Amino acid sequence: MSEKNNSAFCNALGLGGANNADKSTCINVDKIYDSARDKDCIEYLRVFVDQNGQSVIDSATSIRAKCADVIWANITVSDVAFNRGYFAVDIRFYFRLCFEATIPYFQTQEFCGIAVYDKQIVMFGSEGNVSIFTSDFCDGVNGKPSITQSTNLPKVVLEVATPITLAINIADKSCGCKGCCCSADQIPENVCNACGVLPAEDFGLKNLYVTLGLFSVIRMERPVSLVINAADYCVPDKSSNVLSETDPCSVFNNMSFPTCDFFPPTVGGAITNGIAGGNEVCDPSDVLGDTTASTGTSCISRRCR
């Protein structure tokens, strides 16, 4: 649509010219009322393993960590008594941890386990407690309109980075469980299925403990209606390219060279345009686009597969 036709269209809707002197609009968004940035060092976290993993732990001469991931988090929010507007946030983290153990006769064997960590914080979420009913187009079952119900109580958004395994310890089961917040039978089935581990703790001689470093950002949000200044409608200005109709060599030629895959940045240094020691750190996103490198971004992120 040309600029002239676009203006005529806006004028017909009463959105342009003198009729649109006040370019404010009302939107419904999730407003952040409180947030926290945490750096937790979780010591002596019990690792729950299956029978195969337990037999490896009992016979291992050494164990090293391969990777760690937050596989799931359960979040509950409750009012704080005698302190209106504040809420207690209980978060239970479920970690998937993979290890490589050295067993007698210099053999190695890999196994995975599940660790659980509980965290509680208090955050401000303001006041308000009303029921919200939202009409959907259809319920997806019989095609009839449906209505969903919710509240405007604050919700919690959790962002976590890949955990860092700082230490590994093995102790006899007779010493008791140091950092246990639950038992093996309390781990949800969906977590066990996602990790491929069915924990059991009624056998074996030793327990495996880890110390994890965890970076997280926690936000408490509440739905609100706000008036903001609106410049114009967001109209796309480019067409999509169908890959099957595009010359594959042209697509390949537009890709940036993956410099950071060939020359990983060193501590305190980086790569800028193929020269080591620059001020910018290479970004993996540069491999598939004409974007500039962003400062302070690592090339590699290790996660469990």
Average pLDDT over residues 64-71: 94
With pLDDT > 70 as the criterion, what percentage of the chain qualifies? Answer: 73
Average pLDDT over residues 136-140: 60
Highest-pLDDT range among 31-40, 203-212, 255-264: 31-40
> pLDDT band at 304, cuts 50/70/90?
low
Distance CA 47, CA 180 (A): 9
Q: Does the structure show a pLDDT above 70 at 112?
A: yes
Compare 204 and 70 and report the one with higher pLDDT: 70
> pLDDT band at 84, cuts 50/70/90?
confident
Average pLDDT over residues 11-16: 49
Q: What is the pLDDT of residue 243?
A: 65
Q: What is the pLDDT of residue 249?
A: 82
Cβ atoms of 44 and 179 closer than 8 Å:
yes
Distance CA 244, CA 60 (A): 52
Distance CA 172, CA 1 (A): 74
Q: What is the pLDDT of residue 274?
A: 44
One-character DSSP codes across 9-48: HHHHTT-SGGGGSS-EEEEEEEEEEEEEEEEEEEEEEEEE
Q: What is the pLDDT of residue 251?
A: 76
Cβ atoms of 293 and 286 closer than 8 Å:
yes
Compare 21 and 214 and report the one with higher pLDDT: 214
One-character DSSP codes across 255-294: SPP-HHHHSPPPTT--EETTEET-SS---GGGGGSSPPPP
Q: What is the pLDDT of residue 139?
A: 57
Compare 23 and 53 and report the one with higher pLDDT: 53
Q: Does the structure show a pLDDT above 70 at 121?
A: yes
Compare 13 and 165 and report the one with higher pLDDT: 165
Q: What is the pLDDT of residue 141?
A: 58
Q: What is the pTM of this model?
A: 0.71
Tokens for 179, please give them. 């950092």
Q: Which residues pair with 73 in a beta bridge?
A: 93
247-284 pLDDT, tens digit per residue, is 778 778 888 888 888 887 776 554 444 444 444 455 54
Average pLDDT over residues 180-198: 86
Residue count (the chain) = 305
Q: Does the structure show a pLDDT above 80 at 47?
A: yes
Q: Does the structure show a pLDDT above 80 at 128?
A: no
Q: What does the longest C-alpha to C-alpha distance in the chain come to? A: 86
Q: Does the structure show a pLDDT above 80 at 244?
A: no
Q: Does the structure show a pLDDT above 90 at 172?
A: no
Q: What is the pLDDT of residue 4?
A: 45
